Structure 1
Amino acid sequence: MALDALRASPLVEQAAQRMRDEISGGQWEVGMKLPSETALVKILGVGRSTVREALRSLSGAGLVQARQGAGVFVIATTPHEDWATGMRRSAITDVYEVRMLVEVEAVRLAAVRRTADDIAGIRAALRHRAQAAGEGDAQFVDADIALHATVVAAAHNPVLTGLFTEFLPVLRQGLIDLVQLFDLRADRPDHGADAHAVLVDAVCAGDAEAAGGALRAELEQTLARLQRR
C-alpha cells in the first residue's frame, strides 16, 4: 500500500478520510483486515492516538468493526447516516408528512394535559408570532416554530418533544423557502394568524378534537404548497 504521509491538520479527519478512500476505492475490501495500529502509524505518518480516533470515526460510521483479539475489519464500503444527518438530506415534503403524524397527535395530547403555565406560555408565543409579523421572514418563521414547539411541549411527552426538535433545522429552512417562494406574507405579514389563533384556543380550551383538526388543516395546506414547489 502506497499512502503518502499526512502533514496538515486536523490530522484525525484527514487520517479517517484517507482510510475511507481506501475502503470506498476497493483497496480495502469488505471482510479484509486493516493493517495493524502500528502499521497505520507508519503508513499515515501520524501518532497512535490519531490513528485510534480515526478508527473510532470509521467504526461510528459503520465502515469497520474491531474484533477482540483479531484486529479491525472492513464491514461496509459506504457509511450509514445517523438520524440528524438523514433528516438534513430528506426532502422537506417527506419531513412534513412525518411532522403531521407527530405533531397532530402532540397537540391533541397538549389539549388534554396542558397546565395553567402551559396556557400562559402558549398565549405568549402566539403574541410573539403576531409581533414578529413586522420582522423579516426568518424571524417570523422562528416565531411560528416557537409557537408550535410550545404547544408540543404542553403534551408533556419527552419523546414527542425530542422528535419535533429533530425536525427543526430542516423544517425552518423549508418554511423560509416556502414563504419567500410563494411570497406568502405579501398581502398579510402575519400569514396564518387566524388558523393559529383557532389552534391555540382549542388547546387552551382542552378540545383535543378541534386542536387536532385545526393543525391538520393548516399542515395539509402547507404540504400542498410544498408539493407544488
Structure 2
Amino acid sequence: MPLGPLRPSPLVEQAAEHLRDQITGGHWPVGTKLPGETTLARELGVGRSTVREAIRALAGAGLVTTRQGAGVFVIADEVREDWRDRLRRASVADVYEIRMMIEVKAAELAAERRTEEDMAALDQALARRDAAGAESGAESDEALVDADIALHTAVVAAARNPILADLYAEFLPVLREGLLDLAAMIDLSRAEAAHGHAAHHELVEAIRDRDAARVGRAMAEEMARTATYLRGA
C-alpha cells in the first residue's frame, strides 16, 4: 500500500491518518518497527517535524510506543477508545458506582480541608437544592437534579484537589443525563423530599464540623440509595 504525497493542510492530521491506516490495515503488524522519520517524511512529502507530531498522535491513541535508542514500534492495531466516548457508552449505574467511590473520599477530604469560603458555597448550594425539592413537576425534577449536582460539585471542590475535581467533572454530563432519565420514571421530588433533604443537610453539617467519619457515612448512605433507584429503573 503506497503512502503517497499529502495535501498541504492540515499536514499533521493527514500524516497521522495515513500512518494509522497502515497500522490498522495490517501493513505494519503489532511488533513491527516503523520506518525512520527521514523515510516517512520523504514518502509522505512532509517535514520530519510533521512526522514527529503524527507519531505523537499515534502514541496518544495507543498504537505505537517509542523505545529510546531503538525506534518506534507498533503495540496495537486498534485505536484506543477515547475516555469521553467510553463514558458516553457506559450505563449510568456503572458511572454512578464510580461517582460513589470518588465522592465518598472527596467528602471526607472536604471535612478535613474545607474553608469558610467552601462552607459559604455549600450553604448556598444546599439552599438551592432545598428550594428545588420543594417544587413538583417535570421542570422541578430537572431543577432538583441540577441543584443536587451543584451541591455535590461544591463538596468535591471543598476537597481542594484539582485533579479530583477535573475527574469528577468528566462524569457529570452522562450522570446528569441518567438522573434526568430516572426522574422521568419516578416522582423524584416526592422520593427525595424526606430522605434527600435530611441526608444532604447532615452531609453539609458534618463537613462544617470537620467530622470525616460522619461525612463518609452520610455520603455513602445517600448515594447508595440513589444507586438502588438506578439499578431498579
Name the structure 2 match of 1:54.
Answer: 54
Distance in 1 of aligned mates of 2:69 and 2:211: 61
- In the superposition, relative to structure 1, how do residues 73 and 150 fare at CA in structure 2: closer, same or farther (>3 Å)? same
| Equivalent residue for 1:216, pick from 217, 220, 223 | 220
CA deviation map 1:60-108 (0-9, x unaligned): 2232233455443222223445766654554332222222223223323
Distance in 1 of aligned mates of 2:55 and 2:16: 7
Q: Is the 8 A contact 2:141 2:188 kept in 1?
A: no
Gaps of 5+ in 2: none
SS in 2 for 1:66: strand
Distance in 2 of aligned mates of 1:225 and 1:141: 14
Task: Give, in angstroms, the shift of residue 201 of structure 1.
Answer: 3.0
SS in 1 for 2:77: coil
Task: Give, in angstroms, the shift of residue 209 of structure 1.
Answer: 4.2
Task: Give, in angstroms, the shift of residue 122 of structure 1.
Answer: 0.8
> Is 1:27 aligned to 2:2, yes or no?
no
Superposition TM-score, scaled by structure 1 size? 0.77
Superposition map of 1:1-229 within 5 A: 1-7=1-7, 9-68=9-68, 70-80=70-80, 86-131=86-131, 140-158=144-162, 160-182=164-186, 184-185=188-189, 192-229=196-233
Task: Give, in angstroms, the shift of residue 28 of structure 1.
Answer: 0.7
Counterpart of 2:76, as a letter, is: A
SS in 2 for 1:62: coil
- In the superposition, relative to structure 1, how do residues 207 and 61 fare at CA in structure 2: closer, same or farther (>3 Å)? same
Counterpart of 1:37, as a letter, is: E
Counterpart of 1:126, as a letter, is: L
Task: Give, in angstroms, the shift of residue 183 of structure 1.
Answer: 5.4
Distance in 1 of aligned mates of 2:21 and 2:36: 18
Superposition TM-score, scaled by structure 2 size? 0.75
SS in 1 for 2:188: coil
Distance in 2 of aligned mates of 1:79 and 1:204: 46
SS in 2 for 1:72: strand
SS in 1 for 2:2: coil
Distance in 2 of aligned mates of 1:113 and 1:66: 41
SS in 2 for 1:65: strand
- In the superposition, relative to structure 1, how do residues 11 and 181 fare at CA in structure 2: closer, same or farther (>3 Å)? farther
Mean CA deviation greater in 135-144 or 49-58: 135-144
Distance in 2 of aligned mates of 1:198 and 1:190: 14
Q: How many residues align?
A: 228
- In the superposition, relative to structure 1, how do residues 70 and 151 fare at CA in structure 2: closer, same or farther (>3 Å)? closer
CA deviation map 1:172-208 (0-9, x unaligned): 33323332344534x5897934432332233334444
Identity among equivalent positions (%) equals: 55
Gaps of 5+ in 1: none
